[in-house]
Structure 1
């Protein structure tokens, strides 16, 4: 009987807990539940607007630092993702916008964040020959040996594009140029495959040094 009484007590509390919530109750931040939903919705809108803006700017054009700053200070998430998992840092890394990259990182952007294909901002910088962005990302902890879905490192991507200057930077920061992707190819193999023979030769020489 005592156990039955305890069970009935718990059931009674459960019923009470199912009462309609008080939407006007204010939590620790002074917001009601309605305020919280509205706040979240506004932030998601800002996230989308920030990403849309960054994507809309052509590579030949300069991104507006003040505009990006306003989105972030108004509540946009520096790690917001589009449908492919690309973040503001992925997009700005492509454009070599070091002022914005630095601001995003200071605002909490993850230098090692990956999209749905496991591509990091450093992969993007390597692909688009954004050497200054590459340096800044590495300075802020970006992994020079990060692998994407195909096992390609930033060195593989730079080799594929024939970006020798980027490779020099990666090597200076201890990138593993002997790393193999899922097809068993090194960056040197990748450079040769895409007919960047001078880059392939340079990488083979650097591999012999190690």
Structure 2
């Protein structure tokens, strides 16, 4: 065998070795997601790990990635089959967690990928939790949320925000078209609620925007 043939064979053997099975993951999947360790996450995917497994806190890897705001990991997990509608142990879906974490870009991505949750419900979730990210409300409106929708008691998101004294959220809702004079089923308007609470900052904010 001449030297050229030997070199060719050696090269082929090296290429075959390089194409062998990748290393197994060395840390648990949820820990890899916590650390944004793409290499370890990809190893888990290649070796067939359950990408919808819960951690000790009842979160799936997708929930963890959403909470941390890791768009790249969210996209990777979603493309590899993560269940975008699976709730965590608290009953919160990944898109719900994105809303609660103020991750508007991730929420938008998940909705585009088919996340099935009513935009009005997501707006309620945000308001009840007091989340103040200014980009989430216009996103939900764009996706079909009615900023003036009312619950069984006739309470609008604005009334809920006023009742909790969340001035920043009240401001964001008004900026996005919330009706400052729409009453609940008992006839109470946002301004009356703010007056009862003695919340001067919200009273002034409502009055500046035409509340009666």
TM-score range, shorter chain: 0.5 to 0.7
TM-score, normalisation: structure 1 = 0.60
Deviations 1:160-181 (A, max 9, x none): 2112211111110113445566
For residues 145-184 of structure 1, the aligned pairs below 5 Å read: 145=118, 153-159=121-127, 160-178=130-148
**Cα distance in 1 between the residues matched to 2:179 and 2:48:** 46
Deviations 1:3-51 (A, max 9, x none): xxxxxxxxxxxxxxxxxxxxxxxxxxxxxxxxxxxxxxxxxxx7x8111
For residues 131-146 of structure 1, the aligned pairs below 5 Å read: 131-145=104-118
Cα deviation for residue 88 of structure 1 reads 0.9
Aligned equivalent of 1:85: 58
Q: Indicate yes or no: 2:202 matched with 1:202.
A: no
**Runs (5+) with no aligned partner, structure 1:** 1-45, 58-62, 147-151
Aligned residue pairs total 151
TM-score, normalisation: structure 2 = 0.60
Deviations 1:28-85 (A, max 9, x none): xxxxxxxxxxxxxxxxxx7x81113334x4xxxxx22222121222222121112443
Q: Indicate yes or no: 2:70 matched with 1:97.
A: yes
Aligned equivalent of 1:73: 46
Aligned equivalent of 1:52: 31
**Cα distance in 1 between the residues matched to 2:149 and 2:58:** 25
Runs of 4+ displaced beyond 4 Å: 178-185
Cα separation, partners in 2 of 1:50 and 1:180, compared to 1, 3 Å: farther
**Cα distance in 1 between the residues matched to 2:150 and 2:86:** 22
**Could you tell me whether the CA contact under 8 Å between 2:150 and 2:157 is conserved in 1?**
yes
**Cα distance in 1 between the residues matched to 2:57 and 2:167:** 30
Deviations 1:76-125 (A, max 9, x none): 21211124431111111122222221221121111111012210111111
**Cα distance in 1 between the residues matched to 2:112 and 2:178:** 26
